[in-house]
Amino acid sequence: MKIYTIFISILIILSCISLVSSYDKKLNYEILLPPPLSVDMSYRNAIFSRCSVRSFKVTPQMEPVGDQELSTILWAAYGYRDNGNQTVYGIDGLHSTVIYVFREEAVYTYNPLNHSLVLFQEGDLRSIVNWQHNAPIQLGIVWDKNKNKNENYSSVEIGEIGQNIYFMSTALGLGTVTAGLTGFKDIDLPENEIGRIVMPLGYPKKSPIFEYNPNLITLFPRIPDSDENLTNVIENRIEKHSFEGDIYRQELCQLLWASYGFSYLIDVTNSATNEVERHRTLPSSHCTYPLVIYAVTSFGIFRYFPHILHLNPYSDNPYYSSNYDLPVISFLLPIRLGDYRDEIAKASSQRDIASAPLILISVLPLSSLYSVSWPWYYEAGASAYNVMLESTLLNLHTGIFKPTDLSLIKSVLRLIDDSLPLIIVPVGR
Ligand SMILES: Cc1cc2nc3c(=O)[nH]c(=O)nc-3n(C[C@H](O)[C@H](O)[C@H](O)COP(=O)(O)O)c2cc1C
């Protein structure tokens, strides 16, 4: 009898242990992320060394990205700041993005309200959502149609998010790339959600190597160094809807440079094969960089040339630019003199921007060439976000507005018929 009782007790204990361990393997519905890090890298260094990374360390397994790094990147991408606003600006106050986090064990969504991951689906879907780049984490960036009906302006927000993912990854020694070709069609998203881009996260197989070489032929003043740390600049960005004050030439040039310029660093990672690149401050689909940035001030309207068009010997498309176009000649071309800020304010139904000392407008030339427009709105959003961060360094305020009267803007900017003004970014004090 005694032996029988001992045997039964052992059986009960063993089954309890196996129950506990199988419970352990069950995934948590919600994972609270650790607080984000304040990174050491300056914003200036992060924007100078932004570049796309496409292969990641596999040693012998993929080197994982820790929760601390993931937390910091997700906060920068879409988290809340101390002032109660999210890190990125929502046009008309709308935020319509969902970030999916694809990890080895499962797919989660990021909840910015309590900075957590919420279980979406168990299983490893990383190579399905991104068949181009094998990485330990894939961030799937999705447009929620219920929160903003406009597919183009929702892509502006995704462009802003993409910049912070690039900058923060750079600051943490990680790599990423905006991938527009995705496997979202094979992921069972809710009906109201459309997958837009995927950004892999991992330690680069080959860490990018940069050389400081600001040897640009330019009529612009030098972009000054700044020690201001990236986390602070993201945290301190101030958005405004009414503007005043003046803009100085140095500030104007710095803001234009941030919007679409080239780095002072050259990327010599692949110099052994003669591939020396000078990256821009933002990515562009197929390295096209088609946007044209106009600056409207009280003096007149100017077109920013980040570099003189340099035909790429590898492409038949004259509008295709490349990171290999060296050297760079940047300047501002006056389009017309006079104060046209009132007209731009009317054309965006925002009376208050008429007093902004600077209004930047991104324009997509030859819009008929591009049947899909959201990637160019993504790029305009990335460019506008850079202007917002650079403005923060300069103690200036910014916003992003929609053009509401396209023909008025086109006539004021003297654009040809086929051009499409995308967004309007006033800057002021
Ligand atoms: C909307 C968009 C879609 C992109 N799609 C892809 C993609 O599917 N695959 C890829 O490897 N790179 C993609 N890129 C990255 C560009 O190829 C890259 O930004 C460009 O070549 C410039 O290089 P850099 O970012 O290193 O400066 C995309 C970029 C953007 C903005």
pLDDT tens per residue, range 381-398 = 999 999 999 999 999 999
Q: How far apart are CA 206 and CA 55, in angstroms?
A: 8
**Residue 166 in contact with ligand 1 by CB distance below 6 A:** no
Residue 323 pLDDT:
54
Q: Is 204 in the pocket of ligand 1 (CB under 6 A)?
A: no
**Is it the case that residue 196 has pLDDT exceeding 70?**
yes
CA of 158 to the centre of ligand 1 (A): 14
Answer yes or no: is the C-beta of 51 below 6 A from any ligand 1 atom.
Answer: yes
Tokens, residue 139: 């961030």
Please give the average per-residue pLDDT across 322-343, as a whole number.
Answer: 81
Query: pLDDT grade, residue 367 (50/70/90)?
Result: low
Dihedral pair phi/psi, residue 286, rounded to 5°:
55, 25
User: How is residue 301 written in tokens?
Assistant: 């309207």
Question: pLDDT above 90 covers what percent of the chain?
Answer: 76
Return the ∠ at Cα 258 (arms to 256 and 261), rounded to 5°: 80
Task: Return d(Cα 281, Cα 211) in angstroms, integer.
Answer: 16
First to last CA, the chain: 88
Burial of 320 (0-12, 13-18, 19+ CB in 10 A): middle
Instruction: Give the whole-angstrom CA distance, residue 278 versus residue 107.
Output: 35
**Is the minimum distance from the CB of 283 to ligand 1 under 6 angstroms?**
yes
- Domains in the chain (CATH in brackets) are 30-201 (3.40.109.10), 210-428 (3.40.109.10)
Which sign, positive or negative, has the C-alpha torsion 37, 40, 43, 46? negative
CA dihedral 293, 346, 163, 93 (to 10 degrees): 180
Residue 104 token pair: 């080895």
| 59-114 confidence digits (pLDDT tens) | 656 678 999 999 999 999 999 999 999 999 999 999 999 999 999 999 999 999 99
Please say if the pLDDT value at position 180 is more than 70.
yes
Residue with CA nearest ligand 1 atom 10 = 179
Cα distance between residue 290 and residue 366, in whole Å:
9
| pLDDT for 3 | 61
Helix (H) or strand (E) holding 359: strand 358-364
Residue 307: per-residue pLDDT: 77
| pTM, 2 dp | 0.92
Contact between 406 and 391 (Cβ < 8 Å)? no
**pLDDT tens digits, 237-280:** 988 888 999 999 999 999 999 999 999 998 989 877 767 788 99
Cis? peptide before 190, omega within 30° of 0: no
Which pLDDT value is given to residue 219?
A: 81
Average per-residue pLDDT in the chain? 90
What pLDDT digit, counting tens, does each position of 105-155 carry?
Answer: 999 999 999 999 999 999 999 999 999 999 999 999 999 999 999 999 999
Pairing between β-strand 217-218 and β-strand 329-337 as defined by DSSP bridges: parallel
Q: Is 196 helix (H, G, I), strand (E, B) or coil?
A: strand
pLDDT, residue 309, reads: 52
Per-residue pLDDT at 21: 45
117 in contact with ligand 1, CB cutoff 6 A: no
